[in-house]
């Protein structure tokens, strides 16, 4: 599922890059980046709590969800208008999409908790398929501007959210389960982890227009489609799989076995992904965008470092989210925001060398700052001392 959605994301972005102007494509990529971050914050951790607790998405949960999502949507829209000077229509669409995506994320969490993992994955990855559909509309001339693409993205999210919510409502009417209370403190810790994780994925897209230009952001979005996308798919798949395995594990030994298995997969796939990016990436970007965007070998190498760094950071995060105590979650929350800070510092140090410097600097800063997170995960994996043994 994640591999197919990753391919849809890559293909959709490349077609949009080909058909839209550099400025229009850059503005659409920026809206999507802000939306991913704002929609991660908007549920205030309730979407993540749904993975750990049996909480129905009824009025008791929906009212605080909509209230928080609306507040975050207004803040995100105001910040985007001030920092990036986008069109008013794009700003309004961003605000509405933030609320919509917050509900969508929470629906996906509920579906996964009820055991409908495949359906939840389809809901989670729906945004990638929406981008592919928008790109096909751009090919036939229906969409020709960044604003039209943004509005189309909003409409697609709304339709998927309505369908997912209807399905969830039907399931919760017919399934009996013990309802647990909403622990907003636990949700707050989960919120920090989810928001920081989203920030780490999108941070370069948010920083590039501020430190470089919108044209550089468009180039980075193409780079992400042909070079970083394999790592994005890998990270999403491994984190989802590993968190579920850690949650089901009943001992540190079982957790270590699960982590070792996923790490072995990560190493093998990373080697293949780096080889693919270095050999095919620059050529693919040139050919698939009609020569509009050029990706140098240096930029492709920076993308490899960036992608590997993101997956390395995601491994300990999955261990903690899957089986951590509230104390572990709080520590992980602080540690992941340290990774965000490291990414920002690395980007600022690297951007004088251009886009490649910013991308590589962000990755190195993130990798260095991942150490505290790895320490927390390692503590969870320690063998349990047995009585009578030295």
Tokens 């979407």 map to which residue? 47
Angle at alpha carbon of residue 190, lines to 342 and 344, rounded to 5°: 15
Neighbours of 120 (CB within 10 A): 24
Question: Helix 22-41 and helix 88-113: axis angle, to 10°?
Answer: 40
d(CA 10, CA 202): 15
Residue 48: its pLDDT value, please?
Answer: 66
∠ CA 352-358-361, rounded to 5°: 110
Rounded Cα distance, 274 and 268, in Å = 10
Give alpha helix (H) positions in the chain. Answer: 2-19, 22-41, 46-49, 59-84, 88-113, 117-124, 126-139, 146-174, 184-211, 214-223, 229-248, 252-288, 297-323, 326-350, 355-369, 371-380
Would you call 336 helix, strand, or coil by DSSP? Answer: helix
> Tokens 């044209």 label which residue?
215
* Chain centre distance of CA 55: 24
Q: What is the pLDDT of residue 65?
A: 81
CA distance 260 to 270: 15
- Token pair for 102: 């917050």
Per-residue pLDDT of the chain (390 residues; tens, 9 = 90+): 666 787 888 899 999 999 999 999 999 999 999 999 999 888 877 766 666 566 666 676 678 888 889 999 999 999 999 999 899 999 999 999 999 999 998 888 778 777 777 887 888 889 999 999 999 999 999 999 999 999 999 999 999 999 988 888 887 676 655 555 555 565 666 677 677 778 888 889 999 999 999 999 999 999 888 888 778 777 767 767 787 788 777 787 888 888 888 888 888 888 888 898 899 888 888 888 888 998 889 999 999 988 888 788 778 877 887 777 777 777 777 887 888 899 999 999 999 999 999 999 999 998 888 888 888 888 878 765 544 433
Tokens of 323: 């089986």
**Per-residue pLDDT at 186:** 59
Provide the phi-psi class of 116: left if phi over 0, else alpha when psi is between -120 and 50, else beta.
Answer: beta
For 320-354, b/e burial (b = at least 16 CB within 10 A) is bbbbbeeebbbbbbebbbbbbebbbbbbbbbbeee
């Amino acid at each position: 599922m994640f591999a197919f959605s990753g391919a849809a994301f890559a293909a959709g972005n490349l077609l949009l890059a080909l058909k839209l102007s550099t400025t229009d494509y850059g503005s659409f990529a920026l809206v999507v980046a802000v939306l991913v971050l704002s929609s991660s914050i908007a549920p205030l951790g309730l979407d993540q709590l749904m993975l750990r607790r049996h909480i129905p998405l009824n009025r008791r949960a929906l009212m605080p969800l909509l209230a928080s999502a609306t507040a975050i949507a207004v803040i995100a829209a105001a910040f985007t208008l001030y920092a990036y000077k986008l069109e008013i229509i794009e700003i309004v669409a961003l605000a509405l999409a933030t609320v919509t995506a917050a509900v969508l994320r929470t629906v996906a969490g509920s579906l996964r908790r009820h055991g409908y993992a495949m359906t939840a994955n389809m809901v989670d990855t729906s945004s990638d398929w929406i981008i592919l559909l928008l790109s096909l509309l751009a090919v036939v001339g229906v969409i020709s501007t960044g604003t039209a693409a943004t509005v189309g993205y909003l409409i697609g999210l709304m339709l998927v959210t309505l369908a997912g919510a209807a399905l969830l409502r039907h399931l919760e009417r017919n399934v009996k389960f013990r309802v647990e209370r909403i622990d907003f403190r636990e949700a707050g810790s989960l919120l920090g982890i989810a928001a920081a994780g989203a920030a780490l994925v999108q941070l370069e897209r948010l920083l590039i227009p501020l430190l470089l230009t919108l044209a550089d952001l468009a180039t980075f979005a193409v780079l992400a489609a042909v070079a970083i996308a394999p790592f994005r798919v890998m990270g999403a798949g491994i984190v989802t799989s590993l968190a579920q395995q850690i949650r089901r594990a009943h001992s540190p030994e079982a957790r270590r076995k699960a982590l070792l298995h996923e790490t072995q997969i990560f190493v093998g796939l990373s080697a293949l992904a780096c080889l693919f990016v270095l050999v095919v990436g620059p050529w693919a970007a040139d050919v698939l965008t009609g020569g509009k965007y050029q990706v140098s070998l240096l930029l492709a190498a920076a993308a490899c470092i960036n992608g590997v760094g993101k997956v390395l950071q995601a491994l300990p995060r999955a261990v903690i989210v899957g089986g951590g105590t509230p104390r572990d979650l709080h520590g992980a929350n602080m540690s992941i925001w340290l990774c965000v800070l490291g990414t920002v510092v690395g980007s600022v140090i690297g951007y004088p060398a251009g886009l490649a410097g910013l991308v590589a600097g962000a990755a190195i800063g993130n990798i260095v700052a991942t150490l505290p997170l790895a320490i927390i995960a390692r503590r969870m994996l320690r063998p349990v001392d047995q009585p009578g043994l030295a």
